[in-house]
Structure formats: structure tokens, C-alpha cells
């Protein structure tokens, strides 16, 4: 009976730690999953499974960096999901910036309709271009530029050396810039 009480108190402590260190980062987990899956419903499925895994293994969380730990689980869960659902992947849906908290440059209150339209068009172009990048570049760019993680955190999440993070980030930025560069026919 004493063993069960000890297990129950450990489970309760792990659940409290999970709530304190991991749950505040659910939005980040969803944003990363959304960029990886490119579909709202699939992202929700990936995050739900990742949270179940995180709760199940919350005793394995070392230190207090719940965000990097959760995002690592989200990424691994995505790869499992992708391997299982590759052929049935749903159509990409329009990504709503404001709904998902991705808009980095919010419109000023005094911006007119033209400025708001231009900003929305630019954001749409960036999102479309990001979607065209290979996954290895897209995930590094999303983690660094949108989630504002350090190189060290990204290296931990992706389980790659920091030098690889930097080179993928550089190549991803170059490819993104090339995709966004005006073509000869544009003014």
C-alpha cells in the first residue's frame, strides 16, 4: 500500500510540474505543428498526441525548459504522424495569422486600408514561400524566426549540432529570399 501511495504522489508531482512547465507552451506547440503539417486539423491531432506523450513521460523532463522539451516532442510526433499519413495528408488550408498568433508586425491603429492590405499580402506571400521550403529548412526558420528560440534550443529540439542549425538557417533564409524576390515582370 505504501508503494501505491508513493507512486500516486510521484504522479501528482509530475502532473503539477507538467502543468507549470509545459502547458504554458501549448500555443507554441500548435504554431510549430501548424507550420509542419500545413493543416489546422492535422496540427491539432499532432499537438494532442504530443501532449499525451509529454504527460506520460513528464518525469523525464530535465531542468526547467519545458518549451524546448515540448517542441521536441511535437516535432518527433509530427514525423511519426507524417510517416503514417503521408498518402492521406489533407489539403493545406489558409493560415490565419491573427487566429494563430503568428503576425509579427501588427497593424497600427492609424494604418489605412491600403497599408493593411499590403501588410496582409506580404504576410500571405511569406507564408506561401515558407510552405514551399523543404521541411528541414522550414522547421529551423519557424523555430528561430517565429518561435524566437536560440540556436542551442533549436539544436536540442532537432537533435542536430548547432553548426547544422546555423547552416540550415542560412540556407533556408537564402531560399526564402529567392522565393520572395520580385521577378522581372513585377514592378
Annotate 144-171 with DSSP letters as a single string: IIIS---HHHHHHHHTS-HHHHHHHHHH
Would you state the pLDDT for residue 112? 81
Specify the range with the lowest mean pLDDT, choosing from 61-70, 103-112, 165-174, 175-184: 103-112
Cell of 10: 510521484
Q: For the chain, which domains are there?
A: 1-93 (1.10.1740), 105-182 (1.10.10.10)
CA distance 87 to 52: 25
Check whether 18 has a pLDDT greater than 60: yes
Across 53-74, average pLDDT? 86
Check whether 14 has a pLDDT greater than 80: no
Percent of the chain with pLDDT over 70: 80
Across 144-167, average pLDDT? 94
Mind listing the pLDDT tens digit for each residue in 83-131?
888 766 544 444 444 444 444 444 455 578 888 888 888 888 888 899 8
Cell of 130: 515558407
Specify the range with the lowest mean pLDDT, choosing from 20-29, 55-64, 113-122, 147-156: 55-64
Amino acid at each position: 500500500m505504501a508503494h501505491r501511495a508513493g507512486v500516486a504522489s510521484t504522479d501528482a508531482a509530475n502532473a503539477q510540474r507538467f502543468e507549470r512547465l509545459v502547458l504554458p507552451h501549448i500555443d507554441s506547440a500548435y504554431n510549430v505543428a501548424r507550420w509542419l503539417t500545413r493543416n489546422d486539423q492535422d496540427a491539432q491531432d499532432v499537438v494532442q498526441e504530443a501532449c499525451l506523450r509529454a504527460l506520460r513521460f513528464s518525469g523525464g523532463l530535465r531542468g526547467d525548459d519545458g518549451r524546448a522539451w515540448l517542441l521536441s516532442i511535437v516535432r518527433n510526433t509530427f514525423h511519426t504522424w507524417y510517416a503514417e499519413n503521408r498518402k492521406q495528408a489533407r489539403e493545406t488550408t489558409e493560415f490565419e495569422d491573427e487566429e494563430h498568433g503568428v503576425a509579427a508586425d501588427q497593424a497600427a491603429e492609424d494604418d489605412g486600408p491600403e497599408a493593411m492590405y499590403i501588410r496582409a499580402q506580404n504576410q500571405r506571400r511569406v507564408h506561401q514561400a515558407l510552405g514551399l521550403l523543404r521541411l528541414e529548412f522550414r522547421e529551423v526558420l519557424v523555430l528561430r524566426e517565429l518561435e524566437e528560440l536560440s540556436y542551442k534550443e533549436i539544436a536540442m529540439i532537432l537533435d542536430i549540432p548547432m553548426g547544422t542549425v546555423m547552416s540550415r538557417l542560412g540556407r533556408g533564409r537564402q531560399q526564402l529570399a529567392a522565393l520572395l524576390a520580385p521577378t522581372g515582370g513585377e514592378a
